Amino acid sequence: MGTVRKVPMRKCTGCGEMKNKKEMLRVLKTPEEEIILDATGRKNGRGAYLCFDKECLRKARKNRGLERSLKTAIPASVYESLEKEFDKLEHQ
């Protein structure tokens, strides 16, 4: 009889919905204090998760969910670059 593996679940910082970790996008604060998107989900640093939906990024910005999860202030320029990277991922 095969063992059932536990599926890692993560909460979106925008909409608050719990989803499978692989269905979400990880926003990462690196040890060098840089905020980046981590498509692999394996890079070192403090992570926060978002659904693959631009609206969730907007909600996370409005309710400061990413700032709370990453424990750092995020400037507007970083949000703009995250939106551009989000666009690239949506079109792949």
pLDDT single digits (tens) 36-47: 888 788 899 999
Average pLDDT over residues 52-57: 90
Residue 29 CA to residue 19 CA, distance in Å, equals: 21
Chain-wide mean pLDDT for the chain? Answer: 90
Select from 35, 31, 39, 43 the least CA-distant residue to 60.
35
Q: How confident is the model at residue 68 (pLDDT cuts 50, 70, 90)?
A: very high
Taking the whole predicted model, whether its pTM rises above 0.95 is answered as no
- Given the candidates 3.40.50.970, 2.160.10.10, 3.30.1230.10, 3.30.2420.10, the CATH classification of the domain at 9-90 is 3.30.1230.10
54 pLDDT more than 70: yes
